[in-house]
Amino acid sequence: MTIYDISLPISPSLPVWEGDPKIILEEFLSMDAGADANVSRFAAGVHVGTHVDAPHHFLNDGRTVETLSLDILMGTAFVLHLDDDVNLVTAEVLDAAPIPPATLRLLLRTSNSRQWTLDSPEFQRDFVAISADGAEWLVEHGIRLVGVDYLSVAPFDAPIPTHQILLRAGVIIIEGCDLHHIPQGKYALYCLPLKLIGAEGAPARAVLVG
């Protein structure tokens, strides 16, 4: 069994969503300056790096991230490779894809993942995302968790429909997965977001075992 880390490296050089707070990761206490221990301080928007979205993010309904089911965040997942010519994940694309029956957790590897092999990626607006009819397809096919390899599940210019369709159905969304090194197939997923109380999302560490 191999453990694959699909989490983005969190540092001030990681791109964040346009308009979101910058990532701060800085020295707070330093042994070089005479302290007993090194201690760092971290600050960011909660939708930073690899992270999960809870319904409150786009539904304003009070269903915040600490309520998400660990039963869904851990379990068998299928990593689907989509060709480089797919620039929107529509119902038609999903219909044609070799997703095994009874898949509950689906991670989509697209050309986005190539971003995470760059030394200094910059924020992209033209990433591959899921269309509204793609989101409806996922809900209708019983998907309980969907992961994508860029910082949003929805197109830059149309954030609301895809998020609302998935979140209204209780689908857990993982954004910012680095899947560039993951072969297509089944894995055990462990996605553990910070237990932030009352927040509409949280950064997570996510790994695949397979």
Residues classed as catalytic: 57
Whole-number minimum distance, CB 183 to a second copy, in Å? Answer: 18
User: Which is closer to a second copy, CB of 62 or CB of 96?
Assistant: 62
User: Which is closer to a second copy, CB of 96 or CB of 209?
Assistant: 209
DSSP character at residue 4: E
Q: What is the largest CA-CA distance in the chain?
A: 61
User: Which is closer to a second copy, CB of 39 or CB of 96?
Assistant: 39
Whole-number minimum distance, CB 202 to a second copy, in Å? Answer: 8
Residue with tokens 């998020």: 163
**Of the candidates 64, 66, 5, which has an alpha carbon nearest to the alpha carbon of residue 189?**
5
The residue range among 93-101, 124-132, 136-144, 158-166 that interacts with a second copy, by the rule CB under 8 A, is: 158-166
Interface residue with a second copy, options 18, 71, 83, 157 (CB under 8 A): 71
Q: What are the backbone dihedrals phi and psi of residue 108, each rounded to the nearest 5 degrees, phi first?
A: -105, 115
| Chain length of the chain | 210
Report yes or no: 192 and 204 within 8 Å, Cβ to Cβ.
yes
Give, as ranges, the residues between 183 and 202 that touch a second copy (CB under 8 A).
Answer: 190, 192-201
Q: Does 57 contact a second copy by CB under 8 A?
A: yes
- Angle CA(101)–CA(104)–CA(108) in degrees, nearest 5? 90
Tokens found for residue 161: 């429909």
The residue range among 35-43, 82-90, 106-114, 143-151 that interacts with a second copy, by the rule CB under 8 A, is: 35-43
Interface map 108-147 toward a second copy (x if CB under 8 A): ----------------------------------------
Tokens found for residue 35: 């302290």
Provide the b/e sequence for 94-114 (b: ≥16 CB within 10 Å): beebeeeeebebbbbbbbbbe
Tokens found for residue 74: 């851990």
* Residues ≥6 apart with Cβ < 8 Å to 139: 165, 166, 169, 171
Whole-number minimum distance, CB 148 to a second copy, in Å? Answer: 16
Whole-number minimum distance, CB 153 to a second copy, in Å? Answer: 12
Binding stretches for a second copy (CB under 8 A): 3, 5, 7-11, 20-21, 24-25, 28, 31-32, 36-47, 49-50, 56-58, 60, 66, 70-71, 74, 159-160, 163, 190, 192-201, 203-207, 209
